[in-house]
Structure 1
Amino acid sequence: MAMTQPAGAKQKSVDGRRERSVSSRAKIVAAMLDLVEGGDVQPSAARVAEAAGVGLRTVFRHFDDMDSLYREMSEAIEARVLPVMLRPFTTGTWREQMRELAARRCEVFEAILPYRITASLKRFQSTFLMQDYRRMLRMERSSIDAILPASVHADPVQLSAVHLSLSFQCWRVLRHDQELGIDAARAVFLRLADAVLEQSKG
């Protein structure tokens, strides 16, 4: 006669497998983040498996659902930078607040630089990454728009100039295309922001 496993034992077995799966997935996400931060913008499954300390088969099993992995990576990155992004302003006028925002963005953009580059390489192959890219653009613009006075909003050319001068793409060009160090890139970024803001009415 076949032995039937008690219901409680079955549930524990299922729960154990689920916990191991969640743990493995967290290790994979952490390994991908570490590899990207270290300069490997497109880490292979083998490198991820080695860094995560899991089997290659486990990585391939989770890689079947790349968008959910990208989502978890995005959430982990946002958790790091949101406290900086949401920090209250210490100044009063809109120009002073914009300068605070510019300085803050240097810090945030540098922290997310390798991940945004990786996402840019992959976003045309991923529905989530493309949607997340557009969401980040909206967030970047809306945080600026919330500070600027109506007089700047009324000038589309000037508004676009402000958006561009404080964009992630501007920071990427300084750091990668012009190969500036962090301090030099920050000096140029802030100088450019100042120059554009000085042209703004209001």
Structure 2
Amino acid sequence: MTKASQKIASRSNAPLADGRRERSRSSRSKIVAAMLDLVGKGDVAPSAARVAEVAGVGLRSVFRHFDDMDALYREMGGAIEAQVMPIILQAPSGASWKEKLLDIADRRATVFETILPFRISGNLKRFQSPYLMQDYRRMLRLETEIIEAHLPASVKADVTGAHSLNVILSFQTWRLLRHDQSLTVEDAKAVVRRLLNDGLAGMPDE
């Protein structure tokens, strides 16, 4: 084959290759969207077969794009994190550290409500998944670091008091109120605010 004919063949094959890549990207997107949809609607441990069914792809396609369910959870986690991380990392408003924590509490209610089914899903599988366990611990550290960044030295020195603030503002407390006790969002927010105000009342202002 001459160089000219090779170039012509290459150009003629390019649309086919581009089409395959586009179909592959489309299938992958459908699989991730199906996982997000299923978990978001309460199916916190969907099977690969169920994901494939909702995505409208074959079961082999799921594992062609994702080596295992861990990889799919990783992709799902990345999508959720991209959605909520700007809220989490936004500097809290307030003139004092106590006002800042109250603002963090309000914003965490929004974030925790968004991620609730996805965190429950991850928690169910994290004891069988090194990745999910690592991600769980990473998020715990982040929750703690954000609070501690606004605590005065006198409060940090009160280890028990600092831990109590972390418990009040934790995802686990929100899950307990919303999932286990079936409180409404507004009632759960009111409980967290009451706990936080009571906890802050006995702490120094600076």
Using structure 2 for the length normalisation, give the TM-score: 0.88
Could you say if the C-alpha distance between residues 124 and 14 of structure 1 is closer, same or farther in structure 2, counting changes exceeding 3 Å? Answer: farther
Amino acid across the alignment from 1:166: L
2: distance between equivalents of 1:158 and 1:89?
Answer: 21
Aligned equivalents of 1:21 and 1:123: distance in 2?
Answer: 29
Task: Indicate the residue corresponding to 1:143 in structure 2.
Answer: 146
**Alignment correspondent of 1:200:** 203
Amino acid at match of 2:84: V
1:44-59 maps to which residues of 2 (within 5 A)? Answer: 44-59=47-62
Q: CA deviation at 1:86?
A: 2.8
Gaps of 5+ in 2: 1-5
Give the alignment's Cα RMSD to 1 decimal.
2.1
Amino acid at match of 1:38: K
Partner residue in 2 for 1:98:
101
For residue 130 of structure 1, the aligned residue among 128, 133, 136 is 133
Consecutive unaligned residues in structure 1, runs of 5 or more:
none
Q: Counterpart of 1:22 in structure 2: which amino acid?
A: R
Following the alignment from structure 2 to structure 1, what is the Cα–Cα distance between the partners of residues 71 and 34? 15
C-alpha distance in 2, partners of 1:188/1:77? 26
TM-aligned CA deviation for residue 96 of structure 1: 0.3
Does structure 1 residue 181 correspond to structure 2 residue 184?
Answer: yes
What residue number does 1:64 align with?
67
| 1:23 CA displacement | 1.8
Question: Secondary structure, in 3 states, of the residue corresponding to 1:6?
Answer: helix
State which drifts further: 47-56 or 147-156: 47-56
**Matched-pair contact (CA < 8 Å) for 2:97–2:152:** yes
Percent identical residues:
58
Name the counterpart of 2:81: 78
Measure the CA separation in 2 of the matches of 1:68 and 1:41. Answer: 16
Normalised by the length of structure 1, the TM-score is 0.90
Give the length in aligned residue pairs: 201
Output the amino acid matched with 1:146. A
SS at match of 2:43: coil
Partner Cα separation in structure 2 for residue 90 and residue 196 of structure 1: 19
Give the letter for the 1:80 counterpart.
Q
Matched AA of 1:168: F
Cα pair 1:31 1:48 within 8 Å, conserved: yes
From 14, 39, 50, the equivalent of 1:36 is 39
